[in-house]
Amino acid sequence: MENNMIQTKDLSISFGRKKVLNKITFDVKECEIFGFLGPSGAGKTTTIKILTKQLKETSGSCEVNAKRNEIGILSDNSGVYERLSVYRNLCFFAELSQTDKKYVEEVLKEVKLWDDKDKKVENLSKGMKQRLLLACAIIHHPKLLFLDEPTASLDPATTEEIHKLLLKLRKEKTTIFLTTHNMEEADLLCDRVAFLNKGEIVEVGTPRELKLKYAKDSVSIIYEDEKEVIVKKDTDAIVKALQKNNKKKIQSIHSQEPNLAEIFLSLTGRELK
């Protein structure tokens, strides 16, 4: 598995008689941000739990090319001490992972919590707490980072801060496995995405590849008076349409690309909520 940080083959898990993951096969390359997308109940968190050895697969295999202390996790059940300060919490995590305390200040500045370092966790806002959880997940400079919906129900400003940090971590060669419902986030951050539906992977690729693969068969011409004409993506048809309206000024011509949410919907008949 050269250059692969994660490789799964026919990975499956059942809880009792309920099959939650059904033969999923995918790889995550070193240093990429891999988006694992799917609606609620698709099996995203379960996959992270198997990859981080919190659950054992029923059949199939998975290889993760990172030792336990080289992995960082941010998930729903990540916890911090509510009565301790931001600073003390991060020091505690640094000690746990035998990381030099000098990084505490660096990471707190990175997640923009340095000015709030003396606040108790119980007095933090939701966005601040999420940034602290992220700080705890990256304090030991993991080479592989699992993020289970890191920006779910955060405000746009905090979301943007987190996005910037994730792009910086990728530059520093951290591999990131990210689950999200937010297709714009996936499009913005991910090198590749996998669509998971009812425990099965229905598509994998770069956002660009998927948009081209499922591109609509038409082009949109918008004139200055805002009138839009949609024509088949065919030279003759486009020329004809342009000739027909050759007195009008054109505002834009673009091919009609679907976004990731539309692709998911067309593949599964389901919204990504």
Q: Which is nearer to ligand ATP, 44 or 170 (CB)?
A: 44
182 binds Mg ion (CB under 5 A): no
Q: Which is nearer to ligand ATP, 18 or 249 (CB)?
A: 18
Q: Which is nearer to ligand ATP, 181 or 211 (CB)?
A: 181
75 binds ligand ATP (CB under 6 A): no
Residue 153 CB, nearest distance to ligand ATP (Å)? 12
242 binds ligand ATP (CB under 6 A): no
Site for Mg ion in 41-60 (CB under 5 A): 44-45
Contact residue for ligand ATP among 3, 15, 106, 234 (CB under 6 A): 15
Residue 89 CB, nearest distance to ligand ATP (Å)? 25
How would DSSP label each residue in the chain? -TTEEEEEEEEEEEETTEEEEEEEEEEEETT-EEEEE--TTSSHHHHHHHHTTSS--SEEEEEE-S-GGGEEEE-TT----TTSBHHHHHHHHHHHTT--THHHHHHHHHTT-GGGTTSBGGG--HHHHHHHHHHHHHTT--SEEEEESTTTT--HHHHHHHHHHHHHHHHTT-EEEEEES-HHHHHHH-SEEEEEETTEEEEEE-HHHHHHHT--SEEEEEETTS-EEEEESSHHHHHHHHHHTTTSPEEEEEE-PPPHHHHHHHHHS----
Interface size with ligand ATP, residues (CB under 6 A): 10
Residues that bind ligand ATP (CB under 6 A): 15, 20, 38, 40-46
